[in-house]
Structure 1
Amino acid sequence: MAPMPTLHAASLAKTYPVAEGELTILRDASLSLERGESAAIVGPSGSGKSTLLSILGTLEFPSAGDFQLSGRSPFQLSEPELAAFRSRHIGFIFQDHHLLPQCSVLENVLAPMLADGAAGPADVTRAEQLLQRVGLAQRLHHRPAQLSGGERQRAAIARALLRQPTLLLADEPTGNLDRTTAEAIINLLLELQQEQNAILIAVTHSETLAARMGRRFILDDGCLVAG
């Protein structure tokens, strides 16, 4: 029997109860990816792309289907176990970066370590190395408000990679950036993803970003198909 892919999603579905019965967001979403692979998920607004990303990130439970990551079925874990699994195996990059305004850039990058209680010296060293890698070595003690949009997204990338996750999820990572800055962020994101041998899945409206990914999927009418 062939080994299970590092990421395996089979027939994921998501429905929500409404007054009229059920609202179906996802009907059939299946994909398998190995470490080092990248995939773009495109589709019209409201097609369920962010919902699918939330399920793959274990932030939301599917109504049906199976999901496995690194040989584990995370939705079968207890809530504390699931939180620990997510913190260790999944990194998130959002369109609006979600940096903590009251914290320095370095503190923001170290935020994922709070799940373990506190950051140790090795964590600080790795955070500083990542910030140097993304071009923010001179910004460690600045607040997010003192950074440009591109710099904030670079900090968000460093934060997502701090724990060397198996899966890196990006939701419109270049959506708020001008073309030149977006291209620089795409280059950086793909370089770091390859260096860390992570799986990268990006939900995007950007054809430029989608064209740079190894695989492309279209989500339409709740179904995910290769595109």
Structure 2
Amino acid sequence: MPDLVVHHLSKSYPTPAEPLVVLDGVELELSRGESLAVVGPSGSGKSTLLAILGALDEPTSGSVQIGGVDPFSLSERQQARFRAKSIGFVFQDHYLLPQCTVLENVLAPLLSDGKATSEDADRAAELLRRVGLGERLTHRPAQLSGGERQRAAIARALVRDPLLLLADEPTGALDGRNADAVADVLLSIQSEREGMLIAATHSPEFAARMGRTARLCEGQLLS
């Protein structure tokens, strides 16, 4: 059975006239080790889809199963714990904490379990080396370039080795050279993992490097 199963997923928002339908019966299956690029014009619902898959927003109807778990059947506390352990996020903006070092930023997702251990610090440092920031562990975000900050954000998203990694326009704010470098890091690490990667992107070059591509059109996800 696939590790991600989305069935008849819909999302709409009330308006004075009639509901605004953003997603309309989305169907999707993905297994460990697979990657999917979601493309489509701005406003087509790509970010909304990722927010629901990441249990940051609830669907109007339909179902989502991640590793056999329906996150929307969980209590608020259980859902937060599930999201922290099973889902990683990379956004267009890196959202690094400016007062913390790069290493501390990568360790931040582990603090919900209490104090990070020395093993956690070793894993975070290794991830930073993998993304080319081995010499930047004690730097703060303001001392990094845009591409370096985004690579640090990727390391942070992977520190728990999540089952599902969601990337929303991860190269959208970068120039071509930095966008290529971030894509290289994201895809090379993903190829070694047993997790799943879904990326919303406007970049045809990035989408072409993913395992599969689907387009959001009129609320539906078309292969």
Fold equivalence (TM over 0.5): yes
Partner of 1:149: 146
Tell me the matched-pair count: 223
User: Which of 21, 24, 45 is the equivalent residue of 2:42?
Assistant: 45
3-state SS of paired residue (1:18): coil
Answering whether residue 158 of structure 2 is matched by residue 180 of structure 1, we say: no
User: Which of 86, 90, 95 is the equivalent residue of 1:89?
Assistant: 86
User: Which of 199, 220, 223 is the equivalent residue of 2:217?
Assistant: 220
User: Which of 37, 59, 65 is the equivalent residue of 2:56?
Assistant: 59
Q: In 1, distance between residues paired with 2:8 and 2:101?
A: 42
Partner of 1:33: 30
Question: Which AA in structure 2 matches 1:142?
Answer: H
User: Which of 116, 121, 125 is the equivalent residue of 1:119?
Assistant: 116
After superposition, what is the alpha-carbon deviation per residue over 1:168-221, rounded to whole angstroms, capped at 9, x for unaligned?
Answer: 000001111111221121111111112122100000000000000111100011
Answering whether residue 148 of structure 2 is matched by residue 134 of structure 1, we say: no
Give me the CA root mean square deviation.
0.9
Question: Which AA in structure 2 matches 1:137?
Answer: G
Q: In 1, distance between residues paired with 2:206 and 2:62?
A: 28
Taking structure 1 as the reference length, the TM-score comes to 0.96
Answering whether residue 189 of structure 2 is matched by residue 192 of structure 1, we say: yes
Partner of 1:77: 74
Gaps of 5+ in 1: none
Question: Which AA in structure 2 matches 1:225?
Answer: L
Question: Which AA in structure 2 matches 1:34?
Answer: S
Gaps of 5+ in 2: none
Question: Which AA in structure 1 matches 2:166?
Answer: L
Partner of 1:14: 11
Answering whether residue 88 of structure 2 is matched by residue 100 of structure 1, we say: no
Taking structure 2 as the reference length, the TM-score comes to 0.98
3-state SS of paired residue (2:135): helix
3-state SS of paired residue (1:96): coil
Query: Matched residues, percent identical?
Result: 60
Question: Which AA in structure 2 matches 1:143?
Answer: R
Q: In 1, distance between residues paired with 2:160 and 2:191?
A: 15
Could you tell which deviates more after superposition, 10-19 or 209-218?
A: 10-19
Q: In 2, distance between residues paired with 1:181 and 1:23?
A: 36
Question: Which AA in structure 2 matches 1:205?
Answer: H
